[in-house]
Structure 1
Amino acid sequence: MTNTAEVTDTNTDAGAPWTSDAWRTRPVAQAVDWPDEAQAQRALEQLRKLPPLIFAGEARALQSQLADVTRGAAFVLLAGDCAESFDEVSADRIRDQLKIILQMSLVLTHGAGLPVVKIGRMAGQLAKPRSAPTEIVNGVELQSLRGHLLNAENEDPDSRRLDPRRLVQGYHHSAIVLNLVRAFTSGGFADLREVHRWNQSFIAESPSGQRYEMLAAEIDRAVEFLHACGVRDDNDELSRTAFYTAHEALVLDYESGLTRREAATGEWYDCSAHLLWIGERTRALDGAHMDFVRGIRNPIGVKISDDCSPEELLQICTMLNPERIPGRLTLMIRMGARVIDRALPALVQAVVDAGHPVAWVSDPMHGNTRTTASGVKTRSFEDVSSEFLSFVRIVSEAGAWPGGIHLELTPDDVTECTGGSWLLDEDELGRNYTSLCDPRLNGRQGLDLAFLAAEALRDARTRLAR
């Protein structure tokens, strides 16, 4: 693992073909126009002097695991909040977020018979793209809420003002979250002998929670068998797990401010997260965001909708992974349950035929957002699960491995998405709707989806083995 001393300042070797600020010469989608440029520069200087949040060796370890995904030997679970909040950073909440991710991973591992690469949408998922720079709130035009990295949700002009000091605040928020994540995942909380503790009370009461408890009992018996065979209680394989972080590389001032050049290799790493992804609104081939991620050596994801043509997708693959390194590039498919059967097959076939080693991951949330008659933004569990099942079938029929799922998910007992085993309906959406932006699955719905996904992946493995 690379340590802090092995990372040099971002301004070193300015004559290199690519630098962390090279993106500034490109068109910037979702641009941030700071009202006080001098204040923004001071914030950026602070970011450049702060220690990295992750190390290059960790990013390489994730890339190695994602390479297994491209070969069909592992599965990715990437899950977490739609947008993190500066106001919700506590040990209890982070523990509960890890609980549901660990539960889902256990279900997927047991059902699909493969290791699960666990990645959290956390410690940096603090900004969101918006379709318009302003919005009307109670008859007043305000700057759109763009996430706590840039502004606050309070309905007044001062709160909505873009504030570059929040970039530094976002760094410290992420450092706290990462510290707690590392403590939990390496300090015994992720121990397989603790599987019953991962089942929160409101989830345990659901059909999927009861099904999980039956699985946990099987794990207990398996661990007892290992003990009988002489496996030690302090075995690392049982007591800890690798856990990585990811977020959308949206605010390039923040990302470039935390990009460092590794002294040992001369390669650039965005030290804000292990994996960064580019969204649907910012993946223009000649744009600043694609130019930025082209130069960093972290694993990279790109959101792909039905607006992407096979030709464009091949250009993306070539641009971001010209050396065709397994694990470098993840394609996150977000289309919607009603269009995926029409749009995805040609894209998968083009990439398979061209021989690009990619990890195929389904994002079944973002293409299925709708607004109810009463004006509430929601998603249907049935649409989410339908899109994922179609994704698994289409990718595996093309001879590739449907290697992951990307979810907006909270451990809280929210009522933001309809459906699931408890059949949440539209009339209940207002009971506990707390998301800063998009609707999230609650813990029960997440576990429902994990059991469904495990069965689909088992079928896909059978299909690919024929």
Structure 2
Amino acid sequence: MSTSSVTGALDAWRGLPALQQPDWADPAELAAVTAALAKQPPLVFAGECDQLKQRLAEVSRGEAFVLQGGDCAETFEGSNADAVRNKLKTLLQMAVVLTYAASVPVVKIGRMAGQFAKPRSKPTESRDGVELPAYRGDAVNGLAFDPASRRNDPRRLMDAYHASAVTLNLCRAFTKGGYADLRQVHAWNQDFVAQSPAGRRYEQLAGEIDRALTFMKACGVHPDEFHSVEFYSSHEALLLEYERALTRIDSLSGRPYDVSGHFLWIGERTRQLDGAHVDFLSRISNPIGVKLGPTTSADDALALIERLNPDNEPGRLTFVTRMGAGRIREALPPLIEKVHGSGAAVAWICDPMHGNTFEAPSGHKTRRVTDVLDEVAGFFEVHRALGTHPGGIHIEFTGDDVTECVGGGHEIVEDDLPQRYETACDPRLNRSQSLDLAFMVAELYRHNA
């Protein structure tokens, strides 16, 4: 297919229903911004996307495990060295727990460097009789409840690009420059071990890793490969004008890649087979994911596979299930049975966050850590019963000591929520709760093996 034909096909989504798209304040301004975005350098590269696809193929074969996580909705203000380092530190600590305690290679994917847009249940929000556009993430408008902030401003798309570039540059520096060296396992924990049960448990594991590395060195093995780690970025491909503007034709292969991130996913609200999101992502060469809620049928899953991965390319397609703790044990088995029976090469990941949200009496959206853990446990139970591979977890977390989810080692209760409720959208696990989850997943994985 010629380059012009590929380019034309990439715009086929424009004639299809596109849900969850902002009503932009100025269409001419939107056109100018997307034209400028189309001239910007790529944030990621085709070769990196292909490498991640190979790693996800290993996951689909049962040879590796995905750890994907980060903010519910990133903010421009949070695109700074301290915030990025804290999130990365938490991801690295969780990965170390899983790699060492479960003896499994871990594919590390940040929900970072692009997660600046969110779908919403309603297009507007009302307070005290005032109605304004809903907050759709910093790539669209501002969180403050006033007309200027809530204007759906196309110029924010360029701000999202620059914030993503800053975050990716920081992540690359941290993961390639020695900060992620496995011999730093104690240093990642110095600010955390004394005040957290999960931190103390982690420190014990870090001591075991130290002894293992010392033994390897004594045997003449110098593990220079532990100096850096592979790290990939991901976000929901929600704003189609932004994603299209950052799609390029690779000069080596002639194939289109969305260079806004390595791994892109379609949300539960936008996975319609005849919709714009499915059409657009079917035409790019990145590894992609689809969120599947409890109402998804096995036929829905098979139709998505046929639409998004007709050649059954391993590593191309990941299903991210978000069923809820009370539904996963009954809703997930029919999907896995039919998909596995079809021979489709699909990786399965559990999102235990989005199906377990409720509103506390204070009005704060929150999640119970026990529900999060229970959904993950159900995910592993289903896969164990069917003889299939539980391929990973997809969580919303922060490296900060927030009080957004109730429970965990520190036993945060609903009355604690206002103390440090800092999310721009949905509640996130804090660092201690994230490590609690990592230890439990490691135990489940060992038991499942």
* Deviation string, structure 1 residues 237-285 (Cα, Å, up to 9, x no partner): 2100000000000000110100001121111100000000000000000
User: CA RMSD, aligned part only?
Assistant: 1.2
* Deviation string, structure 1 residues 165-206 (Cα, Å, up to 9, x no partner): 111111011001100100000000011110011115245521
Check conservation: 1:419, 1:425, Cα contact below 8 A: yes
Check if 1:328 corresponds to 2:328. Answer: no
| Mean Cα deviation higher: 428-437 or 107-116 | 107-116
What SS does structure 1 have at the residue aligned with 2:91? helix
What SS does structure 1 have at the residue aligned with 2:174? helix
Runs of 5+ consecutive residues of structure 1 not aligned to the other structure: 1-11, 462-466
Aligned with residue 211 of structure 2, among 221, 226, 229: 221
Check if 1:283 corresponds to 2:277. Answer: no
What SS does structure 2 have at the residue aligned with 1:245? strand
User: Which residue number corresponds to residue 54 of structure 2?
Assistant: 64
Q: Which TM-score applies when normalising by structure 1?
A: 0.94
Check if 1:264 corresponds to 2:252. Answer: yes
User: Which residue number corresponds to residue 383 of structure 2?
Assistant: 395
Aligned with residue 314 of structure 1, among 292, 302, 307: 302
What SS does structure 1 have at the residue aligned with 2:314? coil
User: Which residue number corresponds to residue 80 of structure 2?
Assistant: 90
What SS does structure 2 have at the residue aligned with 1:417? coil
One-letter amino acid matched to 1:238: F
Q: Which TM-score applies when normalising by structure 2?
A: 0.98
User: Which residue number corresponds to residue 239 of structure 1?
Assistant: 227
Which aligned pairs between 1:110-125 and structure 2 lie closer than 5 A?
110-125=100-115
What SS does structure 2 have at the residue aligned with 1:153? coil
Alpha-carbon spacing, 1:17–1:190, altered in 2? closer, same or farther (3 Å): closer
Which aligned pairs between 1:89-238 and structure 2 lie closer than 5 A?
89-199=79-189, 201-202=191-192, 204-232=194-222, 235-238=223-226
One-letter amino acid matched to 1:449: L
User: Which residue number corresponds to residue 6 of structure 1?
Assistant: none
* Deviation string, structure 1 residues 101-131 (Cα, Å, up to 9, x no partner): 0000010111211110000010000000001
Check conservation: 1:345, 1:394, Cα contact below 8 A: yes
Give the Cα–Cα distance (whole angstroms) in 2 for the partners of residues 297 and 20 of structure 1: 12
User: Which residue number corresponds to residue 274 of structure 1?
Assistant: 262
Aligned with residue 412 of structure 2, among 424, 430, 433: 424
The structural deviation recorded for 1:353 is 0.6
The structural deviation recorded for 1:222 is 1.1
What SS does structure 1 have at the residue aligned with 2:148? helix
Equivalent pairs counted in the alignment come to 448
Alpha-carbon spacing, 1:201–1:92, altered in 2? closer, same or farther (3 Å): same
Aligned with residue 17 of structure 2, among 27, 30, 36: 27
Alpha-carbon spacing, 1:322–1:204, altered in 2? closer, same or farther (3 Å): farther
User: Which residue number corresponds to residue 413 of structure 1?
Assistant: 401
Give the Cα–Cα distance (whole angstroms) in 1 for the partners of residues 294 and 323 of structure 2: 6
Give the Cα–Cα distance (whole angstroms) in 2 for the partners of residues 103 and 18 of structure 1: 44
User: Which residue number corresponds to residue 369 of structure 1?
Assistant: 357
One-letter amino acid matched to 1:244: Y
The structural deviation recorded for 1:326 is 1.0
Give the Cα–Cα distance (whole angstroms) in 2 for the partners of residues 16 and 60 of structure 1: 19
Check if 1:348 corresponds to 2:336. Answer: yes
Give the Cα–Cα distance (whole angstroms) in 2 for the partners of residues 294 and 103 of structure 1: 34
Check conservation: 1:294, 1:320, Cα contact below 8 A: yes
Give the Cα–Cα distance (whole angstroms) in 2 for the partners of residues 173 and 53 of structure 1: 11
Alpha-carbon spacing, 1:203–1:34, altered in 2? closer, same or farther (3 Å): farther
Check conservation: 1:44, 1:253, Cα contact below 8 A: yes
One-letter amino acid matched to 1:42: A
The structural deviation recorded for 1:354 is 0.6
Check if 1:337 corresponds to 2:325. Answer: yes
Give the Cα–Cα distance (whole angstroms) in 1 for the partners of residues 448 and 282 of structure 2: 32
Give the Cα–Cα distance (whole angstroms) in 2 for the partners of residues 204 and 54 of structure 1: 38
Give the Cα–Cα distance (whole angstroms) in 2 for the partners of residues 321 and 51 of structure 1: 28
Check conservation: 1:327, 1:359, Cα contact below 8 A: yes
Check conservation: 1:246, 1:276, Cα contact below 8 A: yes
The structural deviation recorded for 1:230 is 2.0
Identity of aligned residues (%): 54
Check if 1:81 corresponds to 2:67. Answer: no
What SS does structure 2 have at the residue aligned with 1:41? helix
